[in-house]
Amino acid sequence: MMFATEKFTDPDAAYARVLEIYEHNTAILRDAFRQFSSGQPMDQQRVRACYPFVRITTEKSTHTDTRQSFGFVAGPGCYQTTLTRPKLFHQYLLAQFRLILQNHEVPLEVGVSDMPIPVHFAFPEGIHVEGSLDPEHLRTLPDHFDLPDLATMDDRIANGTYEVDNGAWREGPHPLALFTGPRIDYSLHRLRHYTATSPDQFQRYVLFTNYAFYVDEFVRLGRRLMEPTDDPDELAYRRQYTAFVEPGNVTTWSANQEGAETRAASGVAPARQPQMPAYHLQRADGSGITLVNIGVGPSNAKTVTDHVAVLRPHGWLMLGHCAGLSASQRMGDYVLAHAYVRDDHVLDDDLPLWVPIPALAEVQLALQDAVASITRLDGYELKRIMRTGTVASVDDRNWELRDHRTPLLRFSQSRAIALDMESATVAANGFRFRVPYGTLLCVSDKPLHGEIKLPGMANTFYEQRVAQHLQIGIRALELLRNNGIEQVHSRKLRSFAEPAFR
């Protein structure tokens, strides 16, 4: 079946054509792979199918609403992107299509691109060719199918280093989105591998943590919210969440929804914990809360945010523990980061150190209001337990064993009040990928003042603070959600020549 490029002024019709092209072309690859893997004769020697694309061509700048941070192109020209997994991105694509049509009053063109779909990515749930094919079939796989090509999956668009091949600005095509189809597919498969949950389960508001204690508390909370209640106020709150999903896509449905009695738990817990397990407190519209335990270190923080970013979340927060650097801090105090010392180094090649990572007022206010709400402290009294300041993130967990003169000088000159290994990475990748970000840490030790983390002290600290800290993070994300995505997607995250898609 051949798909001619067509123009659409109806976003639903444009989406339907994208879906039709994608489903048809991936079905071709799946059917051919089944023939190939079973040893049946191939209908054709080499099988290729390509991603759908969407394109806009405009001769003038017609966007007029200066409050918006996305949904419009930078100027006259041709703009295009390849698309994948339209069912997963249904509401997202419709929203982007509507804004572009509204802002530019020119049709969307939808057709088949010349970018091949790797056969691995034609299977949304993944295929494991190494395990399912004998050595001969595995050796000849590239002769019959396109395989993932790293040259099509880099982050030049997000990094701002993408250049139009022909060098002519008016001709283009210029990027319409931050990520191409192959780049998205790569991350979706990586997410399943690292978190042991399907990308379909992820919600639009994300918490990252570096300690399993937060996971334990989140699981207790998620399971409790799924239980029935007779309290009218509690019932209203619980009804906003429809399911709780754990690794292995183990799903507990809310007992407070209509028809709950007919929905049984599903999924199978993995035999072993994944590297960065994810848990999802879901809402029907996908605007619930996902928690990912990224473990310790900037490398994990970069890895998971590289992949979560393709889902285009409305915001992510880092909740974790830190070393307090100020003598006035106490164990259990909170640190609201408003700046970062980037000694993590994992993003230096993607985001130069001279690029500032600004605090986002909308996120900062939500975090501050959440701390006040949960602790019932306000105004000047809030300063008793929370400080706003610079967080230094390092790539060496044993930084204390270095010659103290160098790190102490950097902490002093930067006015750092807390130190960890992940926060600057999470914030910097939020900036790089245009995802609203924030950091709220809890002081768990004060190594510069002789209060190092020891088992007895740590256990008491965890018992007292983890539940409250998690409640604050959840409340902050709920406040951001209630304020609306137009408020949280700040213009501070976008440059003067941005892709139109959020």
CATH number of the domain encompassing residue 473: 3.40.50.1580
Last-in-domain residue among 179, 210, 243: 179
Residues 108 and 202 in one domain: no
Distance, CA of 121 to CA of 184 (rounded, Å)? 10
Distance, CA of 310 to CA of 166 (rounded, Å)? 27
Residues 381 and 335 in one domain: yes
Evaluate whether residue 184 is within a structural domain. no
pLDDT tens digits, 20-41: 999 999 999 999 988 888 777 7
Question: What pLDDT, on the 0 to 100 scale, is given for residue 164?
Answer: 65
Residues 158-170 have a mean pLDDT of 69
Residue 252 φ then ψ, to 5°: -110, 120
Distance, CA of 486 to CA of 496 (rounded, Å)? 18
Evaluate whether residue 473 is within a structural domain. yes
Evaluate whether residue 233 is within a structural domain. yes
Last-in-domain residue among 110, 144, 179: 179
Q: Take residue 56 and report the two structure tokens written for it.
A: 């806009």
Evaluate whether residue 186 is within a structural domain. no
Residues 205 and 298 in one domain: yes
Question: What pLDDT, on the 0 to 100 scale, is given for residue 323?
Answer: 83
Residues 304-323 have a mean pLDDT of 96
Comparing CA positions, the residue from 248, 249, 86, 257 lying closest to residue 181 is: 86
Evaluate whether residue 290 is within a structural domain. yes
Q: Where residue 261 falls among pLDDT bands split at 50, 70, 90? A: low
Helix axes 423-432, 298-308, angle to 10 degrees: 30
Question: What pLDDT, on the 0 to 100 scale, is given for residue 458?
Answer: 57
Neighbouring C-beta atoms of residue 423, cutoff 10 Å? 32
Average pLDDT, the chain: 89
pLDDT tens digits, 195-246: 999 999 999 999 999 989 999 999 999 999 999 998 988 999 999 999 999 9
**Percent of the chain whose pLDDT exceeds 70:** 89
pLDDT tens digits, 45-67: 889 999 999 999 998 877 667 78
Residues 105 and 242 in one domain: no
Residues 146 and 231 in one domain: no
The type of residue at 18 is: V
Rounded to 10 degrees, what is the CA torsion of 163, 165, 166, 171?
A: -70
Lowest mean pLDDT among 69-73, 439-443, 452-456: 452-456
Q: Do residues 297 and 397 touch, judged by C-beta distance below 8 A?
A: yes
Residue of 452 and 226 predicted with greater confidence: 226
Q: Take residue 434 and report the two structure tokens written for it.
A: 């245009």
Residue 223 φ then ψ, to 5°: -65, -35
Question: What pLDDT, on the 0 to 100 scale, is given for residue 450?
Answer: 47
The total of structural domains in the chain comes to 2
Question: What's the distance, CA 494 to chain centroid?
Answer: 17
Last-in-domain residue among 179, 209, 241: 179
- Whether 449 has a pLDDT exceeding 60, the answer reads no
- Whether 457 has a pLDDT exceeding 80, the answer reads no
Residues 30 and 153 in one domain: yes
Evaluate whether residue 500 is within a structural domain. no
Give the β-pairing of 416-420 and 386-394: parallel
Residues 60 and 128 in one domain: yes
Residues with Cβ within 8 Å of residue 430, at least 6 apart in sequence = 305, 316, 436, 437, 493
Comparing CA positions, the residue from 388, 371, 369, 379 lying closest to residue 482 is: 369
Residues 210 and 120 in one domain: no
List b or e across 262-286, with b for residues whose CB sees 16 or more CB atoms inside 10 angstroms: eeeeebeeeeeebebbbbbbbbeeb
Distance, CA of 112 to CA of 83 (rounded, Å)? 10
Q: Where residue 462 falls among pLDDT bands split at 50, 70, 90? A: low
Q: Do residues 499 and 178 touch, judged by C-beta distance below 8 A?
A: yes
**Percent of the chain whose pLDDT exceeds 90:** 62
- Whether 475 has a pLDDT exceeding 70, the answer reads yes
Residue of 267 and 446 predicted with greater confidence: 267
Question: What pLDDT, on the 0 to 100 scale, is given for residue 220?
Answer: 96
Residues 155 and 233 in one domain: no
List, in sequence order, every residue forming a beta bridge with 245; answer none if it has no partner: 251, 280
Residue of 154 and 404 predicted with greater confidence: 154
Evaluate whether residue 228 is within a structural domain. yes
Residues 100 and 203 in one domain: no
CATH of the domain at 137: 3.30.1730.10
Which one of 15-24, 271-280, 409-418 scores highest in mean pLDDT? 15-24
- Whether 400 has a pLDDT exceeding 70, the answer reads no
Evaluate whether residue 11 is within a structural domain. yes
Domain extent, residue 456, equals 196-488
Residues 110 and 203 in one domain: no
Residues 151 and 264 in one domain: no
